[in-house]
Chains A and B, each alone.
Chain A
Amino acid sequence: MAEAHPVGFQWVVEAKNRGAKVIHVDPRFTRTSALAHTYVPVRAGADIAFLGGIVNYILSNEKDFREYVLAYTNASSIVSDDFQDTEDLDGLFSGFNDETKAYDESSWMYAGHEEHGRGHGDSHTDRETASAQQHESHGAPLPADVRRDPTLQDPRCVYQILKRHYRRYTPEVVEQLCGVPADKFLEVCEAWTANSGRERTTALVYSVGWTQHSVGVQYIRTGAIIQLLLGNMGRPGGGVLALRGHASIQGSTDIPTLFNLLPGYLPMPHHEKHETFDQWIDDIRHPGQKGFWANAEAYAVSLLKAYFGEGATAENHWGYDWLPRLTGDHGTYRQALDMIDGKIKGYFLLGQNPAVGSAHGRAQRLGMANLDWLVVRDLYMIESATFWKNGPEVATGEITPETCRTEVFLFPAASHAEKEGTFTQTQRLLQWREKAVEPPGDARSDLWFFYHLGKRIRARLASSILKRDQPIKNLTWEYGGYEPSGEAVLQEINGFDLTTGKPLSSFNEMKADGTTSGGCWIYTGVFADGVNQAARRKPGNEQNWVAPEWGWAWPANRRTLYNRASADPDGNPWSERKAYVWWDAGKGEWTGADVPDFEKKKPPSYRPPEGASGVDAISGDDAFIMQGDGKGWLFVPSGLIDGPMPTHYEPAESIVRNPLYGQQANPTRKVYDRTDNLTNPSPPQKHSEVFPYVFSTSRLTEHHTAGGMSRQLAYLSELQPEMFVEVSPALAAERGLEHLGWAHIVTARAAIEAKVLVTERLTPLRLEGRIIHQIWLPYHWGSEGLVTGDSANDLIGITLDPNVLIQESKVGTCDIQPGRRPTGKPLLAYVAEYQRRAGLLPGKDADGQQ
């Protein structure tokens, strides 16, 4: 966190100065470790074993916050008799289909509701379209009536299933799997549990070191299970906080730059599943389900009214047929491979530099070299605009500048200080920022660019009667004059009552009859009363400690989600110290420091009448109101591709055999099995010894991601001027690497070179009686800028998490050798020789036999 989020880290320092204990778990000793009380080195890719060990510690020592767990989680829910665990099936859950590599999830369902489980065909489709991302704002659909055992004794209840599932994750197993000494591990367990309960809460902060794995979603799930068991969700000082890789990454999923989502986590229509508007709506709201998604039609119609204005009518289903349809996987990595295959002709890159910043840089560059046109909007001439003349493939002869077919258009872009708009951070807080300076020269904001591009395209299509042009022709497209107004866009996002023309103040005002509009239902209220609420800057000392008048948080300016859980089932604070939101019996309403995440007037004693659905079906103690059963999920009966509970799988590339299960890696991981995307062999496959070391990549404080904003600046470049690789003294001795000398690192994809930094910040781990060496690389360098170097992302292959299609870029296997890599064509031969030795070349084994 200190490395990649130094400004946010000030609050950790502040907490530390006030007596908080800071624990840092990381494969290498970083600037964060330097400030932590306890640093715990861990093997990259073994976090579920580590966290699962903590779950086991909590359950076997009964350290859970039992009242909270009983009231607010699904611990007491009874799961189907058909469910079988990875402990029974050697690493697979029940329902696995070997052909589609997907699960029939009916046996994961609550008992009596098996027919609601997702079949393996659906599960496969959902993997292709990363549909789990919809669950950012709500749980998967679920029937309301669930059988429970409040004594937690039923062997089929979630609590007992969880306990059995993690029973083998003992401190000894954690030590063996993660390389963490048992005493250090127990120190973490004790600190976490001691700082949780009625009087205290613990926050969990993670970043892409957790997400970028083939089991990334399950990493975070394990953290969430711990936080639920300890009662740290929905309470002040608790939570699971994701530090994003850039400003407003949260905003770019809320108003998505993703292929599979529409604003507010509405699913992008699928060509088979959502042929009609009604099918689409019913797939979101699930008739009969309880909770706020029952109003999904109002959110969807309002979105279509925001898109198409007058053109959206009840007769044409609000223009539903003008929305594009998903036909399968159109994720960013699929696109790169489709470019190589000639299936994609044109591409827009906006502040993104995949030639350096995306996994498998060579595939990215070869793909972009096979387009008709490429538009790059960036601050500088980045590698993704010059790969055709300066990229590594020019040296190897794979790209010839004279014949490269891609026409590249570079448009100078305005930086964040040169345009107005909002950032949405990890707490879902929108903060408006003003333009500080005019952009230089021809540089323009992305808003300006797309506004005028849209205007020009619409002018060209003005007389078109083609059906495919109707969506563009019917778009509402008025955001000001020559210089479009960011506030006008934010107003459209907020939405209007179309009968009065007034801005909506809450998504509860949205209607399904076409009389309201709103570009992103969860953002409704950001322009309440016609005021830009995100621009509020009331100092903290002039308002209460939650500071509700600083910026604006979705939904409804609520700073902590599910904060009903900060009160006990009867509505009283768990403790004075942690009082946050509670039931005021005198006034008959919920009150407190934050906006209550509950119907204001619904008492804790409310129980839904028989047959209730929608919001009425939410009980007075259903704190997790966006979940189908109102409970926090320790066990996920539906919605995840790879299992209802996190299980330790080895990374797709590992040097060790999975010690817990026959199943080596995540069986449902998304793979692209192609000769240009080879995967290093892992045990029990042969030849894993060709790539005997573990490597991980991340950032340096001194640079920003792919370097477009830092390697062009002398003051930053001089602070970290060269690509380097960090190795432990022991590995340096083993491989003959010299401090500040050259080394090159090899995988089945590429060989790159770097200067060597020998440092004891990297520690070899002892595992299964052998020494595991981990190597670390920053990924900031490329071929353009004041300081240049090879790109670490060239080493990484494309293997994705099945739920959200994020790449496994935080762990892989490699070889490292002293000296520089070969250049030109010999480089290809050098990598091919590794591929041959690893048995990866088609039709040949490692000995070269046919």
Chain B
Amino acid sequence: MGSNSLYGPLDPAPDAGYPDAPPRMGFFTDTSVCIGCKACEVACKEWNAIPEDGFNLLGQSYDNTGGLTANSWRHVAFIEQPGSSAAGSSAAQTAMVASTTQPQTGTAPGIPPAIDALAAAGTAGPQFLGMPQSDLPGRTADAPRTDFRWLMMSNVCKHCTHAGCLDVCPTGALFRSEFGTVVVQEDICNGCGYCIPACPYGVIDRREEDGRAWKCTLCYDRIGDGLTPACAQACPTQSIQYGELDELRTRAAARVESLQAQGESSARLYGHSEDDGVGGDGAFFLLLDEPEVYGLPPDPVVTTKDLPDMWKRAGLAALVMAASVAVSFLGRRP
């Protein structure tokens, strides 16, 4: 086990024991060219034979999926941002008050719904309409916008360098693939559900019908054969790009630079840095606003970050306990 095995920069596949691991593969999702067509959602479901997720009109703009769940491994978020002139109009407020809908996730009863960060962002206030209001992050007074914006983003499992879900899985159902991705094996998962609170993004989720945990596999059964994952293959505008992570990071940096040169000053990357709380994401994003606007946690940290410390302390405690037990026995004279 390397010194960075639980936190910090790392190439996960060799660390997991693949001696000749192929390059780490991942997704770069460029939201600046997403047209919200949801072809990724459909292609993912077709390839992976995922059940439908219910026919529910959610009223969150054009998002009727609600979030990443056991039955939706890609999720396109739609964020309507009024221009500053329109924000706060009394009519808008009146209409917004009308909405109290919250999305239902596929989680089994008794287990709290997966913490879908997007839904959480959306339902933070009681008036959420699928169109974030003027007080959401990212719209600061020093960078006001006059134009209405409609942001779209295809969200997916991040395939973290340090994956909390994998670290806590007691059965080995979750494993690190040779491509550096994180995959659940449905025939091994026993449905314990430990992985669900372990994910800092609220991605992995249990399916109501069978109790097992499901999430994006980065199409493990395609990429091994040299195929592109279904979502990236279906994306008409190359918003979802699949490839070697190093190359994607270079491509993404150039894209941000070119967007900023075109005046898109709010363009930024999310999940690209090895120095973030999860050691960098295998699936990272180009965003046009603060992560919170899209329902992404601004500073995710792997939940098992402190595991070594905890183990050390637990070990120490155990030693102390053992010693005291020994001492108590030793102290006896028959």
Q: A715-B45, A719-B41 are contacts. A9–B55 as well, Cβ < 8 Å?
A: no
Which residues of chain B from 88 to 119 have a CB within 8 Å of any chain A CB? 89-92, 94-96, 98-99, 101
Q: A717-B55, A760-B131 are contacts. A2–B37 as well, Cβ < 8 Å?
A: yes
Question: Taking the complex as formed, is B209 at the interface, i.e. its CB lies under 8 A from any CB of chain A?
Answer: no
Q: A702-B38, A718-B55 are contacts. A10–B98 as well, Cβ < 8 Å?
A: no
Expressed in whole angstroms, the Cα–Cα distance for A31 and B63 within the complex equals: 13
B35 touches A729 (CB 8 A): no
Q: A13-B33, A34-B152 are contacts. A729–B237 as well, Cβ < 8 Å?
A: no
Contacts of B147 in A (CB 8 A): 39
Which residues of chain A from 710 to 729 have a CB within 8 Å of any chain B CB? 714-722, 724, 728-729
Q: A7-B236, A17-B33, A733-B90 are contacts. A761–B148 as well, Cβ < 8 Å?
A: yes
B33 touches A35 (CB 8 A): yes
Contacts of B54 in A (CB 8 A): 718
Q: What is the minimal beta-carbon distance from B316 to any residue of chain A, in angstroms?
A: 52
Contacts of B89 in A (CB 8 A): 729-730
Question: Taking the complex as formed, is A755 at the interface, i.e. its CB lies under 8 A from any CB of chain B?
Answer: yes
Contacts of A7 in B (CB 8 A): 236
Identify whether the interface residues of B are mostly helix, strand, loop, or mixed: loop
Question: Taking the complex as formed, is B53 at the interface, i.e. its CB lies under 8 A from any CB of chain A?
Answer: yes
Contacts of B95 in A (CB 8 A): 729, 732-733, 737-739, 758
Question: Taking the complex as formed, is B307 at the interface, i.e. its CB lies under 8 A from any CB of chain A?
Answer: no
Q: Which positions in A face B, CB cutoff 8 Å?
A: 2, 6-7, 9-10, 13, 16-17, 29, 31-35, 39, 700-702, 714-722, 724, 728-730, 732-733, 737-741, 755, 757-761, 786-787
Known interface pairs A2-B35, A714-B52; 18 further A-B residue pairs with C-beta atoms within 8 A, sorted by A's residue number: A13-B33, A13-B35, A13-B238, A29-B148, A31-B36, A31-B62, A31-B150, A34-B35, A35-B35, A715-B45, A715-B46, A718-B55, A729-B92, A733-B95, A739-B59, A740-B99, A758-B95, A760-B131
CB-CB nearest in chain B for A30: B150
B37 touches A786 (CB 8 A): no
B35 touches A740 (CB 8 A): no
Contacts of A720 in B (CB 8 A): 62, 64
Question: Taking the complex as formed, is B256 at the interface, i.e. its CB lies under 8 A from any CB of chain A?
Answer: no
Q: What is the minimal beta-carbon distance from B292 to any residue of chain A, in angstroms?
A: 20
Expressed in whole angstroms, the Cα–Cα distance for A39 and B55 within the complex equals: 32
Q: Which 10 A-B pairs have the closest CB atoms?
A: A721-B55, A714-B52, A758-B95, A738-B98, A34-B150, A739-B98, A6-B37, A729-B92, A733-B91, A722-B57
CB-CB nearest in chain B for A702: B38
CB-CB nearest in chain B for A734: B91
A716 touches B42 (CB 8 A): yes
A9 touches B149 (CB 8 A): no
Kindly supply a per-residue 1/0 record for chain B positions 142-160, scoring 1 wherever the CB is within 8 Å of any chain A CB and 0 otherwise: 0000011111100000000
Which residues of chain B from 127 to 168 have a CB within 8 Å of any chain A CB? 129-131, 147-152
Expressed in whole angstroms, the Cα–Cα distance for A339 and B94 within the complex equals: 48
B148 touches A760 (CB 8 A): yes
Contacts of A738 in B (CB 8 A): 95, 98
> Per a CB cutoff under 8 Å, which of B42, B65, B149, B238 touches A34?
B149
Expressed in whole angstroms, the Cα–Cα distance for A724 and B236 within the complex equals: 26
Q: What is the minimal beta-carbon distance from B280 to any residue of chain A, in angstroms?
A: 26
Expressed in whole angstroms, the Cα–Cα distance for A396 and B45 within the complex equals: 40
Contacts of A733 in B (CB 8 A): 90-91, 94-95
Contacts of B96 in A (CB 8 A): 729, 739, 758
Q: What is the minimal beta-carbon distance from B254 to any residue of chain A, in angstroms?
A: 12
CB-CB nearest in chain A for B235: A10
Q: A31-B150, A732-B94 are contacts. A755–B57 as well, Cβ < 8 Å?
A: yes
Contacts of A32 in B (CB 8 A): 35
Expressed in whole angstroms, the Cα–Cα distance for A318 and B60 within the complex equals: 64
B236 touches A6 (CB 8 A): yes
Expressed in whole angstroms, the Cα–Cα distance for A728 and B89 within the complex equals: 12
B55 touches A760 (CB 8 A): no
Question: Taking the complex as formed, is B56 at the interface, i.e. its CB lies under 8 A from any CB of chain A?
Answer: yes
B92 touches A701 (CB 8 A): no
B64 touches A721 (CB 8 A): yes
Question: Taking the complex as formed, is B267 at the interface, i.e. its CB lies under 8 A from any CB of chain A?
Answer: no
Expressed in whole angstroms, the Cα–Cα distance for A2 and B76 within the complex equals: 15
Contacts of A757 in B (CB 8 A): 59
Q: A729-B95, A739-B129 are contacts. A9–B237 as well, Cβ < 8 Å?
A: yes
Kindly supply a per-residue 1/0 record for chain B positions 222-259, scoring 1 wherever the CB is within 8 Å of any chain A CB and 0 otherwise: 00000000000000111000000000000000000000
Q: What is the minimal beta-carbon distance from A311 to any residue of chain B, in angstroms?
A: 49
Question: Taking the complex as formed, is B39 at the interface, i.e. its CB lies under 8 A from any CB of chain A?
Answer: yes
Contacts of B52 in A (CB 8 A): 714-715, 717-718
Question: Taking the complex as formed, is B80 at the interface, i.e. its CB lies under 8 A from any CB of chain A?
Answer: yes
Contacts of A9 in B (CB 8 A): 35, 236-237
Question: Taking the complex as formed, is B86 at the interface, i.e. its CB lies under 8 A from any CB of chain A?
Answer: yes
A718 touches B53 (CB 8 A): yes
Q: A6-B236, A34-B35, A738-B98 are contacts. A718–B82 as well, Cβ < 8 Å?
A: no
Question: Taking the complex as formed, is B260 at the interface, i.e. its CB lies under 8 A from any CB of chain A?
Answer: no
CB-CB nearest in chain A for B151: A34
Question: Taking the complex as formed, is B61 at the interface, i.e. its CB lies under 8 A from any CB of chain A?
Answer: yes
A761 touches B38 (CB 8 A): no
Expressed in whole angstroms, the Cα–Cα distance for A355 and B101 within the complex equals: 33
Expressed in whole angstroms, the Cα–Cα distance for A535 and B250 within the complex equals: 39
Contacts of B65 in A (CB 8 A): 718-719
Q: What is the minimal beta-carbon distance from A6 to any residue of chain B, in angstroms?
A: 4
B238 touches A10 (CB 8 A): yes
Q: What is the minimal beta-carbon distance from B174 to any residue of chain A, in angstroms?
A: 26
Expressed in whole angstroms, the Cα–Cα distance for A147 and B98 within the complex equals: 67
A729 touches B53 (CB 8 A): no
Q: Give me 5 A-to-B residue pairs in the complex whose CB atoms sit less than 8 angstroms apart, sorted by A's number.
A: A32-B35, A701-B38, A718-B53, A721-B57, A760-B92
Expressed in whole angstroms, the Cα–Cα distance for A741 and B46 within the complex equals: 32
Q: A6-B39, A714-B52 are contacts. A758–B98 as well, Cβ < 8 Å?
A: yes
CB-CB nearest in chain B for A738: B98
A701 touches B94 (CB 8 A): no
> Per a CB cutoff under 8 Å, which of A16, A29, A740, A786 touches B150?
A29
Expressed in whole angstroms, the Cα–Cα distance for A719 and B237 within the complex equals: 19
A741 touches B98 (CB 8 A): yes
Contacts of B149 in A (CB 8 A): 34
Expressed in whole angstroms, the Cα–Cα distance for A702 and B95 within the complex equals: 25
Contacts of A29 in B (CB 8 A): 148, 150
A10 touches B55 (CB 8 A): no
Q: A719-B38, A719-B65, A729-B94 are contacts. A760–B82 as well, Cβ < 8 Å?
A: yes
A719 touches B150 (CB 8 A): no
B236 touches A10 (CB 8 A): yes
Which residues of chain B from 45 to 86 have a CB within 8 Å of any chain A CB? 45-46, 52-57, 59, 61-62, 64-65, 80, 82, 86
Expressed in whole angstroms, the Cα–Cα distance for A303 and B36 within the complex equals: 46
CB-CB nearest in chain B for A2: B35
Contacts of A10 in B (CB 8 A): 236-238
B236 touches A759 (CB 8 A): no
Expressed in whole angstroms, the Cα–Cα distance for A737 and B96 within the complex equals: 11
- Candidate in A7, A717, A724, A757 with the most chain B CB atoms within 10 angstroms: A757
Expressed in whole angstroms, the Cα–Cα distance for A35 and B130 within the complex equals: 19
Contacts of A737 in B (CB 8 A): 95
Q: What is the minimal beta-carbon distance from A735 to any residue of chain B, in angstroms?
A: 11
> Per a CB cutoff under 8 Å, which of A33, A758, A760 touches B86?
A760
Expressed in whole angstroms, the Cα–Cα distance for A741 and B152 within the complex equals: 25
Expressed in whole angstroms, the Cα–Cα distance for A715 and B65 within the complex equals: 11
Expressed in whole angstroms, the Cα–Cα distance for A729 and B92 within the complex equals: 5
B36 touches A701 (CB 8 A): yes
Q: What is the minimal beta-carbon distance from A105 to any residue of chain B, in angstroms?
A: 45
B41 touches A759 (CB 8 A): no
B150 touches A33 (CB 8 A): yes
A730 touches B91 (CB 8 A): yes
A31 touches B37 (CB 8 A): yes
